[in-house]
Copies of this chain bind each other. A is one copy, B any other.
Amino acid sequence: MTSRQMILGMQFSGGYGAAPGAWRLPGANLNSYTDMDQFVRYAQAAERGKIQLLFIADTPVLDVDLDHHAPHHMIDPLLILTVLARETERIGLVTTASTTFTEPYNLARQFKALDVISNGRAGWNAVTTSDPAAAANFGATIPPRAEKYERAHEVIQIVQGLWGSWEKDAWLLDVDGKRFADMDKIQPVNLQGKHAASRGPLPIPPSEQGQPVIFQAGGGSYGLELAGRYASGVYANPYTIEDARAQRKALRDAVKRAGRDPDEVKMLAGFMPTIAPSRQAALERRRFLDEVVDLNQRVRYLGAMIGLPLGPAQLDEPLTADQLADAIPSPHDPRSARALEVAREGWTLRDVLAHGVIDYHPVVAGTAADVADHMQQWFEAGACDGFSIAIDSYHDGFDAFVDQVVPILQERGLFHDDYEGPTLRENLGAHEQYGLDPRLTRPARS
């Protein structure tokens, strides 16, 4: 038992689930990509489970071959969160938007509007864009990293400044006195950076949580500095507990350097569970999901991870004793040790891959208890403050996680029994902030 409890987010990436083959799963709605009723149903399931937030990952580009896979991203994150805001009550609504290719005034306006429409449940995952194909959608190229992050600092500060441009008590609504608002409390922000600027004010009053919560994702020293200064939540992609603890320490140090309290910032580790009545059934489900994946390519990559020349011919056989004797986890891929560990259990290579050893988050394919055990182990090791759950397929995965995993976590005292309050800030334990953070010492203000 621990007195601290984990923060959970359910992640949307595309219309069907985190697995590229989710669209084919029996029972899945084939039109889910464009069918808002489906997302409403998933969001309501997550809210039934008291999940703190929904998160839509996004890059403004088609970055997947649609011949076999569904798109990685939703048709439009802010519009979908607006739909969900109207049909849920408590769950937080967070999405990525690029600081590189969106005007800060437009960003500030749409996120603040979502915050007002959702009664204080919006969050912005403020990330820079790295994909040249995304840049090409804006007729641009990716700027150098330093410049990209310089702009990101400016954009976040301008957005926060605009969010606070209508003071908390500016809205009077005094019918008899004929005063709609107090214009002395609605002033231009006049923020001028090197890459972005805005005069303001933004004509939107505060929401129930004041203004949206900032999230951050993406590592490196630049990303850490950004998270340290502005974020209340951070999406991280560690593959092992050790890796996660190191990332969390680096984050907390960056927060301290920015003059803030590290407990203000929650690190959510990406996690891809497949939940089934048994480990065998979970593997069978993942084998089906893998049918659209190029396994020939993956088995060769698996070989590179464990230092063996593997090929498609061996897909349905396990490693031989000789191969196991020669295998060495690659130091270049943090997933390699886990890959070899699974291979040593004697699974065929197809099943080793079905365990998710090459997925972009740690995978547990097993029972609800297996999934809860993994989460408990990570959480109690101080690897993270919570998880961003990339469930394999939404159509039954949301229900399975909420109805089977959440009760175990609650029983073990690891997850709250109900929402702390109506706003995302309350449920995230995020600090109060309105407008720019007064503790910041390097504002973009000219």
Whether the pair B79, A117 counts as a contact (CB closer than 8 A) is yes
A23 smallest CB distance to B (angstroms)? 6
* Residue A60 lies at the interface, judged by CB distance under 8 Å to chain B: yes
Question: Count the A residues whose beta carbon is within 8 Å of the partner chain — how many?
Answer: 65
In the complex, what's the smallest C-beta–C-beta distance from A181 to chain B, in angstroms?
4
A285 to B83, CA, bound (A): 36
A191's closest neighbor in chain B, by CB? B139
B110 close to A79 (CB less than 8 A): yes
Known: A79-B113, A82-B83. A192 touches B139 (CB 8 A): yes
Q: How far is the CA of A103 from the CA of B105 in the complex (A)?
A: 12
Instruction: Give the copy number.
Output: 2
Chain B residue nearest to A186 (CB atoms) is: B66
Complex Cα spacing A86 to B117, Å: 14
The one of B36, B76, B82 in contact with A109, judged by C-beta atoms closer than 8 angstroms, is: B76
Is A106 part of the contact surface with B, judged by Cβ < 8 Å?
Answer: yes
Residues of B with C-beta under 8 A to A68 = 178-180
Say yes or no for A203: interface residue by CB 8 A criterion.
Answer: yes
A440 within 8 Å of B by Cβ?
no
Given the known interface contacts A79-B78, A183-B65, A203-B71, the answer about A198 and B138 at a Cβ–Cβ threshold of 8 Å is: yes
List the B side residues contacting A106 at CB < 8 Å.
Answer: 60, 101-102, 106
Greatest chain B CB density within 10 A among A181, A182, A201, A203 is at A203
Query: Are A79 and B183 in contact, with the CB atoms below 8 A?
Result: no
Indicate if the CB atoms of A67 and B180 lie closer than 8 Å: yes
Write out the residue numbers on chain B whose beta carbons fall within 8 Å of the beta carbon of A138.
103, 105, 197-198
B199 touches A137 (CB 8 A): yes
Q: What 8 A-B pairs are tightest by C-beta distance, nearest first?
A: A139-B197, A76-B113, A136-B199, A66-B181, A62-B203, A75-B113, A105-B137, A82-B82
Contact sample, A vs B, 12 pairs, CB 8 Å cutoff: A36-B86, A60-B105, A60-B106, A62-B203, A67-B182, A68-B178, A69-B180, A75-B117, A79-B114, A83-B117, A101-B106, A105-B137
